[in-house]
Each structure stands twice: as structure tokens, then as C-alpha cells.
Amino acid sequence: MQISVRQIAAQLGAPFEGNGDILVSGVAGIRDATAGQLTFVANAKYFAEIKNTLASVLIVPEDAEIAFRPIIRSQQPKLAFIKTMELFMLPKPKVVPKLDATAVIGKRVMLGNAVYLGAFVVIEDGASIGDNTTIYPGSYIGRRSKIGTNTIIYPNVTIWEEVSIGNRVTIHSGTVIGCDGFGYAEANGIQYKIPQLGTVVIEDDIEIGANVTIDRATMGKTWIKKGTKIDNLVHIAHNVIIGEHAIIVAQVGISGSVEVGDRVTLAGQSGVAGHIKIGSGTTVAARSGVTKSIPSNICVSGFPARIHRQEQKTQAYVQRLPKLVKRIQELEKKVNEFEAFVSRKEQKNKKSAKNTKKKLK
């Protein structure tokens, strides 16, 4: 699928400069883009990247002075980019709704219109599946779980009992939602299981990666709010609440009863200790470990996580340790010399004091 620059500009209602006949085969970020692709720069901060991009076409701010050609000019380059992206997001060969003959459907199951159930799908008693929802082969929907409309569940996903999944949700393969939280009470050296009686609520417009695990609550609900995106191999423990439009990157682990605000980013391989709140708009850098509640709209890094700038300074000091030690050695050398000097002086003084005494005698 290819669209000319001229056609894209027309769809965006935006002016272009350069050869409008150049064909675009897709879109990507300025660093990822390859020949034939379109990318964008929304502000001057990224203009320096232009000379390195392999993209063939650029969406740029209306008044930017940029030598690259062809360009499309827009008041809101990022939004224009997203609209272009949607031009290429043309319907994947649509799955034709059907209930595969091998799918096992329990009692009192409610199926919406135009539902696709693939081979070997199991829908347990009392579950409900909304209109236009697609459930690929080998996936399992537990008793009384509710799946919304226009939702896609890839192959080999497990949704355990009484879980609620919203509309326009995408869940990738191997993911498990609603497994028991990890709760035990120890007595006499034995671990007694704390019953995990709660559930999981996944709101609308959420995407969940592959091989993710989301535990059900001990009581109440583990709760992912609308618009949040979760990458592969993420662990979300019992009773966690994640706000709207958050970004949880691959291999993040979130302990029990953590509350993550709206639009928070937890970067890759970071972890959050239990019973902590992370304020809205905050970013946790990759591989950080958050051990205390942190306020909104800041950036933290390190373990234990601290304000990113402060942590960076501290880590720079760590790198300077060898030089610091040399400075200390230098000081010690000099101080030893002073000691020698002072002791000479004082001996001399004693001597002269003695002499004075003698003289006085």
C-alpha cells in the first residue's frame, strides 16, 4: 500500500512543498523511519535529527525553515502525523465473524453480534462477549467474565473468572488476567494462602502486551483505567490501580496495592514496591526501583528512585570517586608535610623557650 505526498497533504488539508508524486509506504518515528516512509518533527528541539533520518517525507511546523523536500506543513505536526498513520492503518484483512465449530461455549453465555470465536476457544458458563469482538484460537474466558465490544483477544490468552474487560481493548497472546494474587500469612513456618476473592477490571481503549500477568484483587478489584498501554512480560499484582493513559513498558513489576496516577510512564524493567502512590504525569526511568510514594509530574530514576537530576548528579559523583580518592591522598600527603613542619616549629619553639629560660636564668 502506497499513497502519494499529494494525496496525504490533501487528506490533511495541508500544503506541501517538493515532489507531490513521491509515494509513501508507511510512517515511523524520525529515528526508525526508513526510505519510503513519512515522519514528522513537531518542534525545533528535533530539527537536528532531520539530517540523519532515512525518511522520504517530513511533516513540519507551518513556519519552520527546513531544507528537506518534500515536506508537508501543519500547525499541529504530531496530530497530522497521527492522521497520516491512520491512513495506513487500513483494515487488516477483516476476520469474518463466526463461531468456530470446535469452540466450546458454556451455559448462559451471552454473545453479541458479529463475534468471532476461533478454534478451541472456551467460553465458560455465564460469560458475555460484546459485539464485534474477536477471540482467537486457544483463548479461555472464565465463568461470568465480561468482554466488551470491538475487543481483540489474540491466541492462547487466559481470562480467569469474573473479570471485566472493556471496549476496544487489545490483549496479546499468552497473557493471563485474573490469576490469584500472591498473598500468604505465615504461622509456625508454614505459609497459609490468603483467599483472593476480588477481581480485575480492565477499562476501555487499553492495550496489553504478550505474556503479561495481572492478578485479581484480594478483595475489591485490580483496576486498569481507560487508555492505558501495557507492554510485554509486565507483572501487575493484586489490588493495583493504574490511572488513565499510562504507559507501562516491558518487564515492569508493580507490587500489591500500588496506585499509579494518570499519564504515568513506568519505563522498562522498573519496579514499584507495595502500598505506594505514584502521582499523575510522573515518569519512572528504566530499571528504577520506586520504594516510596512520589508526587505528580516529576521524573525519578535509580534504586531507590530519586528525583532524576539529583540521582544523575549523585551517579556522576560515584564515577568521580577514583579522582576524589586521589585528591584525598594529595591532601593527606600535604597534611603530613604540615605536621612535620608544625612539629619542627614547635620543637624549635620549645628549644628557643628553653634557651630564653636559660638566658633568663
Catalytically annotated residues:
238
Asked if residue 50 lies in contact with residue 66, where contact means CB atoms within 8 angstroms, the answer is yes
Starting at the earlier edge strand, list the strands of the sheet with 283-284: 116-117, 134-135, 152-153, 170-171, 207-208, 229-230, 247-248, 265-266, 283-284, 299-301, 306-307
Please tell me the distance from the alpha carbon of residue 2 to that of residue 59, in angstroms, as a whole number: 17
**Looking at 70, 209, 243, 261, which residue binds a second copy (CB under 8 A)?**
209
- Please report how close the Cβ of residue 18 comes to a second copy at its closest, in angstroms: 22
Q: How many residues bind a second copy (CB under 8 A)?
A: 116
DSSP 230-250: E-TT-EE-TT-EE-TT-EE-T
Q: Is 231 in the site for a second copy (CB under 8 A)?
A: yes
Q: Amino acid letter at 32?
A: D
**Looking at 56, 134, 257, 282, which residue binds a second copy (CB under 8 A)?**
257
Pick 146 or 172: Cβ nearer a second copy: 172
Of the listed pieces 4-12, 227-235, 292-300, 350-358, which binds a second copy according to CB under 8 A? 227-235
Please tell me the distance from the alpha carbon of residue 312 to that of residue 186, in angstroms, as a whole number: 40
Q: Is 146 in the site for a second copy (CB under 8 A)?
A: no
Pick 37 or 151: Cβ nearer a second copy: 37
**Looking at 16, 68, 116, 136, which residue binds a second copy (CB under 8 A)?**
136
Task: Enumerate residues 6+ apart whose C-beta is below 8 A from 267.
Answer: 249, 252, 283, 284, 285, 286, 287, 288
**Looking at 64, 99, 179, 276, which residue binds a second copy (CB under 8 A)?**
179
**Looking at 64, 213, 276, 296, which residue binds a second copy (CB under 8 A)?**
213
**Looking at 263, 277, 282, 294, which residue binds a second copy (CB under 8 A)?**
263
Of 27-86, binders to a second copy (CB under 8 A) are 27-29, 31-32, 34, 37, 76, 78-79, 81-82, 85
Cell numbers 532515512: residue: 54
**Per-residue interface string for the shown chain with a second copy, residues 277-316, x marking contact by CB under 8 A:** ---------xx-x-------------x---------xx--
Q: How far is CA 247 from CA 219, 231, 306, in A?
A: 26, 8, 20
Report the length, in residues, of the chain.
361
Q: Is 168 in the site for a second copy (CB under 8 A)?
A: no
Of 110-129, binders to a second copy (CB under 8 A) are 118-120, 122
The Cβ of residue 101 has, within 10 Å, a number of other Cβ atoms equal to 6
